[in-house]
Chain A
Amino acid sequence: MEKKKVKLKDHLKEVGLFNRRLLVALLFVIVLTLMLILRLCYLQIIQHHLYTTLSEKNQVTLLPIAPNRGLIYDRNGVLIAQNVPVFNLEIIPDKVNNLEETIEKLSKIIELTPEDKEQFYKQLKQHRRFDTVPLKIKLNDDEVARFYVNQYRFPGVLISARLMRYYPLGASFSDILGYVGRINEKELNKIDQTNYAATNFIGKVGIEAYYEDQLHGEVGYQQVETDASGRIVRVLKRIPPKPGENLYLSVDSKLQLASEKALGDNFGAVVVIQPSTGEILAMASNPTYDPNLFVKGMTTKEYNALQNAPGRPLFNRSIRGQYAFGSTIKPFLALEALNAHAITKSYKIKDPGYFSLPGSSHVYRDWKRGGHGTVDVIKAITISCDTFFYTVGVKMGISHIHAILNDFGFGQLTGVDIGEEIPGLVPSPAWKHKAKGQPWYPGDTVISAIGQGYMLTTPLQLANGTAILSMRGHGFKPHFLTKWQDAQGKFHTKPPVTAPVVHADPQYWDIVIEGMQKVIQPGGTAARFGHTPYTVAGKTGTAQVYSTYGKGQDKNLPKHLRDNSLFIAFAPIDKPEIAVSVMAEHSKDAKMIARKVFDAYFEEEKEEKQKHETKSNDHSQSTH
Chain B
Amino acid sequence: MKLNPTIILKAPISQREKMRKMNRTLSERIHIDFFLFFALLSLTALGLFVLYSASNGNSLLVFRQIARLGIAYFIMIIIAQIPPTKMRLWIPWIYLIGVLLLTAVLIIGDVGKGAQRWLDLGFIRFQPSEIMKLAIPMFVAWYLADRELPPSFIDLLVCAFIIAVPVLMTAKQPDLGTALMLAGTGAWVLFLAGMRWRLILLLLLAAAAAMPALWFMMHGYQRQRVLTFLNPESDPLGAGYHIIQSKIAIGSGGVFGKGWLNGTQSHLNFLPEHATDFIFAVLGEELGLVGGLVLLAIVTIIMLRGLYMSTQAQDTFTRLVSGSLILTFFLSIFINIGMVTGLLPVVGVPLPLFSYGGTSMVTLMASFGVLMSIHTHRRLVAK
Tell me the A residues contacting B by CB distance below 8 Å. 10, 14-15, 17-19, 21-22, 25-26, 29, 32-33, 35-37, 39-41, 43-45, 47-48, 50-52, 54-55, 58-59, 225-229, 233
Interface residue from A19, A26, A33, A44 paired with B296 (Cβ < 8 Å): A33
- Chain B residues within an 8 Å CB radius of A58: 245, 248, 264-265, 268, 270
Task: Name the residue on A nearest B250 (C-beta).
Answer: A43
Q: How far is it, in angstroms, between the C-alpha of A59 and the C-alpha of B288 when the chains are bound? A: 19
CB distance from B54 to the nearest CB of A (A): 15
CB distance from A3 to the nearest CB of B (A): 13
Interface residue from B192, B251, B338 paired with A44 (Cβ < 8 Å): B251
Can you give 8 A-B contacts (C-beta < 8 A)? A14-B149, A17-B149, A18-B319, A25-B323, A36-B296, A36-B341, A44-B255, A50-B251
- Chain A residues within an 8 Å CB radius of B319: 15, 18
Closest A-B pairs by Cβ, 6 of them: A51-B251, A55-B252, A227-B268, A228-B269, A17-B194, A51-B252
CB distance from A28 to the nearest CB of B (A): 8
Stretch in B20-28, B36-44, B299-307 touching the partner? B299-307
Interface positions, chain B 267-282, Cβ under 8 Å from A, are 268-270
- Chain B residues within an 8 Å CB radius of A19: 311
Q: How far is it, in angstroms, between the C-alpha of A54 and the C-alpha of B244 when the chains are bound? A: 10
User: Do most interface residues of chain B lie in helix, strand or loop, or is the interface mixed?
Assistant: helix
Interface residue from A15, A40, A59, A229 paired with B250 (Cβ < 8 Å): A40
Check B191 for interface membership: any CB of A closer than 8 A: yes
Q: Are A33 and B299 in contact (CB under 8 A)?
A: yes
Q: Are B330 and A32 in contact (CB under 8 A)?
A: yes
Q: Are B192 and A54 in contact (CB under 8 A)?
A: no
Interface positions, chain B 333-372, Cβ under 8 Å from A, are 334, 337-338, 341-343
Q: Are B192 and A36 in contact (CB under 8 A)?
A: no
Q: How far is it, in angstroms, between the C-alpha of A43 and the C-alpha of B296 when the chains are bound? A: 16
Q: Are A43 and B251 in contact (CB under 8 A)?
A: yes
A39-B338, A44-B288, A55-B251 given; name 6 further pairs at CB < 8 Å.
A22-B192, A29-B327, A36-B337, A44-B254, A45-B255, A58-B265
Task: Name the residue on B nearest A34 (C-beta).
Answer: B296
Check B180 for interface membership: any CB of A closer than 8 A: no
Q: Are B268 and A225 in contact (CB under 8 A)?
A: yes
Check B47 for interface membership: any CB of A closer than 8 A: no
Task: Name the residue on B nearest A28 (C-beta).
Answer: B327
B175-194 vs A: 1/0 string, CB under 8 Å? 00000000000001001111
Known: A29-B303, A36-B337, A59-B268. A52 touches B192 (CB 8 A): no
Interface residue from B264, B289, B323, B330 paired with A40 (Cβ < 8 Å): B289
Known: A18-B192, A45-B289. A51 touches B250 (CB 8 A): yes
Check B247 for interface membership: any CB of A closer than 8 A: yes
Q: Are A51 and B248 in contact (CB under 8 A)?
A: yes
Check B316 for interface membership: any CB of A closer than 8 A: yes
- Chain A residues within an 8 Å CB radius of B247: 43, 51
Known: A26-B307, A32-B330, A32-B334. A52 touches B251 (CB 8 A): yes
Task: Name the residue on A nearest B253 (C-beta).
Answer: A44
B232-272 vs A: 1/0 string, CB under 8 Å? 00000000000001011111111100000000110011100
- Chain B residues within an 8 Å CB radius of A15: 319
Known: A32-B330, A44-B253. A226 touches B341 (CB 8 A): no
Q: Are B270 and A22 in contact (CB under 8 A)?
A: no
- Chain B residues within an 8 Å CB radius of A41: 289
Check B170 for interface membership: any CB of A closer than 8 A: no
Q: Are B292 and A40 in contact (CB under 8 A)?
A: yes
Q: Are A21 and B149 in contact (CB under 8 A)?
A: no
CB distance from B306 to the nearest CB of A (A): 10
Q: How far is it, in angstroms, between the C-alpha of A37 and the C-alpha of B288 when the chains are bound? A: 12
- Chain A residues within an 8 Å CB radius of B296: 33, 36-37
- Chain A residues within an 8 Å CB radius of B320: 18
CB distance from B6 to the nearest CB of A (A): 19
Known: A10-B148, A36-B334, A47-B251. A226 touches B292 (CB 8 A): no
- Chain B residues within an 8 Å CB radius of A14: 149, 194, 316
Q: How far is it, in angstroms, between the C-alpha of A228 and the C-alpha of B323 when the chains are bound? A: 44
Q: Are B327 and A44 in contact (CB under 8 A)?
A: no
Known: A40-B292, A44-B251, A58-B265. A22 touches B330 (CB 8 A): no
Q: How far is it, in angstroms, between the C-alpha of A51 and the C-alpha of B253 when the chains are bound? A: 8
Q: How far is it, in angstroms, between the C-alpha of A26 and the C-alpha of B249 when the chains are bound? A: 30
CB distance from A17 to the nearest CB of B (A): 4
- Chain A residues within an 8 Å CB radius of B264: 55, 58-59, 225
Check B310 for interface membership: any CB of A closer than 8 A: yes
Q: Are A39 and B341 in contact (CB under 8 A)?
A: yes
Task: Name the residue on A nearest B299 (C-beta).
Answer: A33
CB distance from B87 to the nearest CB of A (A): 19
Known: A36-B296, A43-B250, A52-B251. A25 touches B194 (CB 8 A): no
- Chain B residues within an 8 Å CB radius of A54: 248, 251-252
Check B92 for interface membership: any CB of A closer than 8 A: no
- Chain B residues within an 8 Å CB radius of A51: 247-252
Q: How far is it, in angstroms, between the C-alpha of A100 and the C-alpha of B288 when the chains are bound? A: 41
- Chain B residues within an 8 Å CB radius of A35: 338, 343
Check B128 for interface membership: any CB of A closer than 8 A: no
Select the residue from A36, A37, A48, A54 with max chain B CB neighbours within 10 A: A36
Q: How far is it, in angstroms, between the C-alpha of A26 and the C-alpha of B300 when the chains are bound? A: 10
- Chain B residues within an 8 Å CB radius of A29: 300, 303, 307, 327, 330
- Chain A residues within an 8 Å CB radius of B270: 58-59, 227-228
- Chain B residues within an 8 Å CB radius of A36: 292, 296, 334, 337-338, 341, 343
Q: Are A233 and B343 in contact (CB under 8 A)?
A: no
Interface residue from A18, A32, A37, A52 paired with B323 (Cβ < 8 Å): A18
CB distance from B292 to the nearest CB of A (A): 5
- Chain B residues within an 8 Å CB radius of A25: 188, 191-192, 307, 323, 327
Interface residue from A22, A33, A229 paired with B310 (Cβ < 8 Å): A22
Check B98 for interface membership: any CB of A closer than 8 A: no
Q: Are A44 and B307 in contact (CB under 8 A)?
A: no
Task: Name the residue on A nearest B194 (C-beta).
Answer: A17
- Chain A residues within an 8 Å CB radius of B343: 35-36, 39
Q: How far is it, in angstroms, between the C-alpha of A26 and the C-alpha of B309 when the chains are bound? A: 13
CB distance from A38 to the nearest CB of B (A): 10
Known: A39-B341, A51-B248. A44 touches B149 (CB 8 A): no
Interface residue from B191, B268, B323, B342 paired with A226 (Cβ < 8 Å): B268
Q: Are B323 and A44 in contact (CB under 8 A)?
A: no
- Chain B residues within an 8 Å CB radius of A22: 192, 307, 310-311, 323
Check B174 for interface membership: any CB of A closer than 8 A: no
Q: Are B334 and A44 in contact (CB under 8 A)?
A: no
Check B284 for interface membership: any CB of A closer than 8 A: yes
Q: Are B284 and A40 in contact (CB under 8 A)?
A: yes
Q: How far is it, in angstroms, between the C-alpha of A225 and the C-alpha of B311 when the chains are bound? A: 54
B151-192 vs A: 1/0 string, CB under 8 Å? 000000000000000000000000000000000000010011
Check B293 for interface membership: any CB of A closer than 8 A: yes
- Chain A residues within an 8 Å CB radius of B249: 51, 55
- Chain B residues within an 8 Å CB radius of A39: 338, 341-343
Q: How far is it, in angstroms, between the C-alpha of A137 and the C-alpha of B191 when the chains are bound? A: 68
Interface residue from A10, A18, A33, A233 paired with B268 (Cβ < 8 Å): A233
Task: Name the residue on A nearest B323 (C-beta).
Answer: A22
Q: Are A33 and B300 in contact (CB under 8 A)?
A: yes
CB distance from A259 to the nearest CB of B (A): 59
- Chain B residues within an 8 Å CB radius of A33: 296, 299-300, 334
Task: Name the residue on A nearest B249 (C-beta).
Answer: A55
Q: How far is it, in angstroms, between the C-alpha of A37 and the C-alpha of B264 when the chains are bound? A: 23
- Chain A residues within an 8 Å CB radius of B265: 55, 58
Q: How far is it, in angstroms, between the C-alpha of A33 and the C-alpha of B333 when the chains are bound? A: 10
Q: How far is it, in angstroms, between the C-alpha of A228 and the C-alpha of B255 when the chains are bound? A: 25
CB distance from A14 to the nearest CB of B (A): 5
Select the residue from B248, B253, B254, B327 with max chain A CB neighbours within 10 A: B248
Q: Are B268 and A40 in contact (CB under 8 A)?
A: no
Q: Are B293 and A52 in contact (CB under 8 A)?
A: no
CB distance from B170 to the nearest CB of A (A): 23
Q: How far is it, in angstroms, between the C-alpha of A21 and the C-alpha of B327 when the chains are bound? A: 12
